[in-house]
């Protein structure tokens, strides 16, 4: 029996014109004058540079100096592949990643992925709240517990009562807080030749410390929560454009995919530039002064002040707080999407809390749990590192699933990956697996 394509499955019958649009992948056109919003890739890229990632990049610069600057340009095309393929999956199927996996694979795969996503996202969100509080404490000496609670409750209120368009627009402005790291690095006055050498000549450290930081960089730059967030953000964008029914969201157009490619390239470039300057700022100061044991963004901000000036430290701290307000909701909302799609609940930021009670209850529960982790005596430095490693181990399997789905004509129809995207996607998948295997080898 012929297997019906996933993007045509479970649809109610429509008129022949609509059937033809869905069959060819063209979908339903947006209302006149409505186009996809700019800056979706910027939001995802900024969320990728969350306080956990900032701590990882700062640690890399402090411990290895400019020797790992090359990881920024090398990971850029891989970051693009991860986010673009997730975006395309959401646009073609009209559903988020976990909803597509639920339709296509056995339940045990979905549940394993869900468990890993929940653990990784909640730990990282909790660690990020702690990192935000520690960074804000440098600027304003308010008790850390009060700062954690204030940030957490502010974020919870935004998630519960902010509509998708409001959250999207706020996140685009919050992303600009990351530009503080460019200023912080320039104030550190790095030496030109070591910077050029570290950027253009890859250097590998085949020991436990070197491979640990490498897999942490890959795990944070290709974070697991990006896959689900990006696919669901594109679904939310479709709904904001008036495509409220699944049948209206099925398929895409060449123009929409081209728009997404350009938007995501710019977003990933922004994220990558920020990653580069974070490493550069700590390499030019902390590494040079012998302060190599840095594990959090707040610790880096505090250590930068006597070496690069108080302004550099304040800029570093502002970046942590600004991006944290963006990144924590990405993790908690992203995890709520995963739970709702796993169990088939109504979900989405376009719906009011009264219309999708289980979805919003999960958001509230995960946010409160993330806040609570900071009051259970858990070391935030260890939590940040642990969260990065959890994401690093989950990422290879998510990337593998995304590649299998986007290469499958039964799922994507005419929008299966081109040869270039297949090559880039499989190289990215192989690199992620290789880094994780390398880390495991150092533990044996």
DSSP string, 144-194: HHHHHHHHHHHHHHHHHH--HHHHHHHHHHHHGGGGHHHHHHHHT---HHH
353: three-class secondary structure by DSSP? coil
Q: Rg of the chain's alpha carbons, rounded to an integer?
A: 21
Q: How far is CA 183 from CA 179, 277, 309, 316, 345, in A?
A: 7, 9, 12, 9, 45
DSSP secondary structure string, 317-346?
HHHHHHHHHHHHHHHHHHHHHHHHHHHT--
Residue 135, CB-side half-sphere exposure with 13 Å CA sphere:
33
Q: How many angstroms separate the CA atoms of 321 and 298, rounded? A: 10
CA-closest candidate to residue 287, choices 180, 401, 159, 195? 195
Query: How many whole angstroms separate alpha carbon 339 and alpha carbon 333?
Result: 10
- CATH of region 35-416: 1.20.1740.10
pLDDT tens, N- to C-terminus, the chain (444 residues):
333 445 443 333 333 343 344 343 334 444 444 455 566 778 888 888 788 788 888 888 888 888 999 999 999 999 999 999 999 999 999 999 999 999 999 999 999 889 888 988 898 899 889 888 888 887 888 888 899 999 999 999 988 887 777 777 777 777 777 777 777 777 777 888 888 998 998 887 777 777 778 877 877 788 888 888 889 988 988 888 888 888 888 888 888 899 899 999 998 998 899 899 888 988 888 787 777 676 666 666 666 665 555 666 677 777 778 888 888 999 999 999 999 999 999 998 888 889 999 999 999 999 999 999 888 876 665 666 666 666 667 888 899 999 999 999 999 999 999 999 999 999 999 988 887 787 676 666
CB 300 within 8 A of CB 185: no
Residues whose CB falls within 8 Å of the CB of residue 259, separated by 6 or more in sequence, listed in order: 35, 36
How wide is the angle at C-alpha 382 spanned by C-alphas 129 and 156, nearest 5°?
A: 15
Q: What is the pTM of this model?
A: 0.84
């Amino acid at each position: 029996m012929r297997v019906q394509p996933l993007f045509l499955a479970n649809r109610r019958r429509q008129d022949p014109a609509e059937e033809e649009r869905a069959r060819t992948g063209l979908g339903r056109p947006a209302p006149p004058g409505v186009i996809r919003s700019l800056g979706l890739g910027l939001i995802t890229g900024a969320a990728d540079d969350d306080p956990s990632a900032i701590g990882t990049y700062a640690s890399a610069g402090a411990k290895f100096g400019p020797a790992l600057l090359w990881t920024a340009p090398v990971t850029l095309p891989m970051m693009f592949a991860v986010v673009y393929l997730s975006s395309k999956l959401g646009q073609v199927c009209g559903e988020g990643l976990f909803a597509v996996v639920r339709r296509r694979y056995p339940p045990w795969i979905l549940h394993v992925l869900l468990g890993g996503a929940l653990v990784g996202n909640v730990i990282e969100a909790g660690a990020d709240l702690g990192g935000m509080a520690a960074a804000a404490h440098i600027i304003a000496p308010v008790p850390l517990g009060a700062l954690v609670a204030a940030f957490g409750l502010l974020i919870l209120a935004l998630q519960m009562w902010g509509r998708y368009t409001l959250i999207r627009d706020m996140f685009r402005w919050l992303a600009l807080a990351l530009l503080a790291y460019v200023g912080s690095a320039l104030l550190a006055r790095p030496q030109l030749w070591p910077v050029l050498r570290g950027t253009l000549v890859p250097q590998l450290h085949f020991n436990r410390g070197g491979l640990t930081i490498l897999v942490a960089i890959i795990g944070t730059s290709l974070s697991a929560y990006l896959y689900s967030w990006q696919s669901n953000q594109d679904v939310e964008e479709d709904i904001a454009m008036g495509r409220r029914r699944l049948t209206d969201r099925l398929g895409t157009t060449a123009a929409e995919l081209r728009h997404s490619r350009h938007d995501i390239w710019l977003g990933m470039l922004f994220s990558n530039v920020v990653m580069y300057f974070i490493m550069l700022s700590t390499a030019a100061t902390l590494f040079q002064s012998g302060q190599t044991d840095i594990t959090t963004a707040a610790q880096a901000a505090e250590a930068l002040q006597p070496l690069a000036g108080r302004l550099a430290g304040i800029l570093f701290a502002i970046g942590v707080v600004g991006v944290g307000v963006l990144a924590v909701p990405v993790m908690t909302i992203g995890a709520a999407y995963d739970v709702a799609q796993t169990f088939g609940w109504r979900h989405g930021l376009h719906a009011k809390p009264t219309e999708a009670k289980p979805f919003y209850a999960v958001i509230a529960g995960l946010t409160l749990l993330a806040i609570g982790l900071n009051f259970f005596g858990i070391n935030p430095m260890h939590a940040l590192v642990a969260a990065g490693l959890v994401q690093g181990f989950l990422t290879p399997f998510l990337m593998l699933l995304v590649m299998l789905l986007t290469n499958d004509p039964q799922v994507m129809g005419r929008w299966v990956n081109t040869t270039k995207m297949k090559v880039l996607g499989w190289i990215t998948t192989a690199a992620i697996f290789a880094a994780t295997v390398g880390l495991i080898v150092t533990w044996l």
